[in-house]
Amino acid sequence: MSASGLSRLLFGADPKLRRMMFYWSATAALYTVFMGLLVEVGQRGLIDRGDALGLTAYAGGGIVLSYLLVRLGARHGLAPTGAAALQAVFGITCNMWAYVITGPFRAATLMGLMVVVVFCTFALRPRQTLALTAVGLVGMGTTMWWHQLHDPAHYPPLVEAVTFAIMAGCSLAVTVLTGEASKLRARLKAQKEDLVKALDTIRILATVDELTALSNRRHMNEMLAEEERRHVHGAGSPDRETCIALLDIDFFKQINDRHGHAAGDEVLRSFAAAARAELRANDVLARWGGEEFLLMLPDTGEAAAKLVVERIRARVGRLLVDGVTEERGISFSAGLTARRGAEALADTVNRADKALYQAKSSGRDRVIVA
Please say if 291 is a catalytic residue: yes
Residue 298, φ and ψ in degrees, nearest 5: -70, 150
Contacts of 28 (CB under 8 A, 6+ apart): 63, 66, 67
Q: How far apart are CA 94 and CA 116, in angstroms?
A: 11
Q: How far apart are CA 175 and CA 181, in angstroms?
A: 10
> Cβ(333)–Cβ(356) under 8 Å?
yes
Q: How far apart are CA 291 and CA 253, in angstroms?
A: 9
Return the ∠ at Cα 34 (arms to 31 and 115), rounded to 5°. Answer: 65
Torsion 320-324-328-333 (CA) sign:
negative
Q: What is the dihedral of CA 102, 104, 109, 111, to 10 degrees?
A: 180
Task: Count CB atoms within 10 A of the CB of residue 363.
Answer: 9
Out of 227, 228, 291, 292, pick the active-site residue. Answer: 291
Q: In this structure, are strands 292-297 and 243-249 parallel, antiparallel, or unpaired?
A: antiparallel
Residue 245, φ and ψ in degrees, nearest 5: -130, 135
Task: Count CB atoms within 10 A of the CB of residue 7.
Answer: 14
Report how many helices (DSSP H) and strands (DSSP E) the chain contains, helices first.
13, 5
* Long-range Cβ contacts of 235-242 (<8 Å, 24+ apart): 236/298, 236/299, 237/299, 240/299, 240/300, 240/301, 241/299, 241/300, 241/301, 241/338, 241/339, 241/340, 242/296, 242/297, 242/298, 242/299, 242/300, 242/338, 242/339, 242/345, 242/348
Catalytic residue list: 291
